[in-house]
Structure 1
Amino acid sequence: MTSEHEVPADELERFGAYARETSALTVMFHTRVAERMGLSPTDEKCLDLAMRAEGPLTAGRIAELSGLSTGAVTGVIDRLERAGYVRRVRDPHDRRKVLVEVTLADENRFSHLFEGARQTLLEVLGRFSPEERAVLERYNKAMIEVFRRHVVDA
């Protein structure tokens, strides 16, 4: 573990509690969104990964991004395909590869489900100055990077 500053035990405990509460709320939110889309939370998050990608992805890449096994991802893709959210297509550069392509004609079809989260973000960020938001952004980027390395890529 590399650290520039000592983190007192009480701060670690408080920030751990904040992270657990945020995680629980996020899971509950995405469970509700997924339910309204007719998906499981895992399927909804994998669809989100595919939608944010720059073009179609292989199942292996979805597995890397999600931390799921390739077998689990195959099941996710099967369910997303049956629900009409994705389709399997041949890679135009390597016909042996299969890519997963998002088929949502209207990606804004479910944007209303995320409006509360967007408003929450706007309200909370509005409480901080641009300088404070820069620190928050640095914290979030570091958290994502280190969390991915220690948990998802582990």
Structure 2
Amino acid sequence: MEPEVLERFTLYMREQSALTVMFHTKVAEQMGLSATDEKCLDLAMRAEGPLTAGRIAELSGLSTGAVTGVIDRLERAGFVRRVRDPHDRRKVLVQVTPGDLGKFEQLFGKAQASLVEVLSHFDDDELQVIERYLQLQIETFRRRVIDT
């Protein structure tokens, strides 16, 4: 790969990353959370059901001790609750409580509108390439950064 191509894409990724962090910091602030707490809540919301603290640690790359603090804060704020696993009463699961989450949907609605605006500039073939790039980027980044 040409050095100038790598440099150009590195700058794009750094700018995208900075904007993403700033967006989630703003969202978290409006929710009364830290950015880390908000992202862990997002992980729990996207899961197919309640998660263990260990699973949140795996998905986030945080230590189990740090995740315990995150869960405590999310529980105090009313976004999650701890429940017993119905299949193994010794396990505690973290369950999202949908109560007040609806009032924050407008924050994410703006982000989704931006995504729609950007994607509207590409045809189906281009979208397939972008999707493949994003999937590979996520898989590689998770393997090299989160799963290490």
Q: TM-score, normalised by structure 1?
A: 0.94
CA distance in 2, matches of 1:92, 1:59: 16
Judge conservation of contact 2:79–2:100 (CA < 8 Å) in 1: no
Pairs aligned (count): 148
CA distance in 2, matches of 1:116, 1:11: 31
Tell me which amino acid in the other structure corresponds to 1:148.
R
Q: Where do 1:102-113 residues align within 5 Å?
A: 102-105=96-99, 107-113=101-107
Partner of 1:27: 21
* Equivalent residue for 2:86, pick from 92, 97, 102: 92
* Equivalent residue for 1:71, pick from 62, 65, 69: 65
Partner of 1:3: none
CA distance in 2, matches of 1:103, 1:119: 26
Aligned residues with identical type, % of pairs:
71
Q: Where do 1:113-152 residues align within 5 Å?
A: 113-152=107-146
Partner of 1:80: 74
Give the match's secondary structure for 2:30.
helix
Q: Which piece of structure 1 moves more, 101-110 or 50-59?
A: 101-110
Tell me which amino acid in the other structure corresponds to 2:15.
E
CA distance in 2, matches of 1:56, 1:66: 15
Partner of 2:3: 9
CA distance in 1, matches of 2:95, 2:112: 26
CA-based RMSD of the aligned residues comes to 0.9
Partner of 1:58: 52
After TM superposition, the runs of 4+ consecutive aligned structure 1 residues lying more than 4 A away are: none
* Equivalent residue for 2:40, pick from 38, 43, 46: 46
Tell me which amino acid in the other structure corresponds to 1:153.
D
Instruction: Report how far residue 114 of structure 1 moved.
Output: 1.0
Runs of at least 5 residues in structure 1 that lack an aligned partner in the other structure: 1-6
Judge conservation of contact 2:82–2:95 (CA < 8 Å) in 1: yes
CA distance in 2, matches of 1:91, 1:76: 20
Tell me which amino acid in the other structure corresponds to 1:128.
F
Tell me which amino acid in the other structure corresponds to 1:78.
D
Deviations for 1:129-153, whole angstroms, at most 9, x for unmatched residues?
Answer: 1100100000000000000000000
Q: TM-score, normalised by structure 2?
A: 0.97
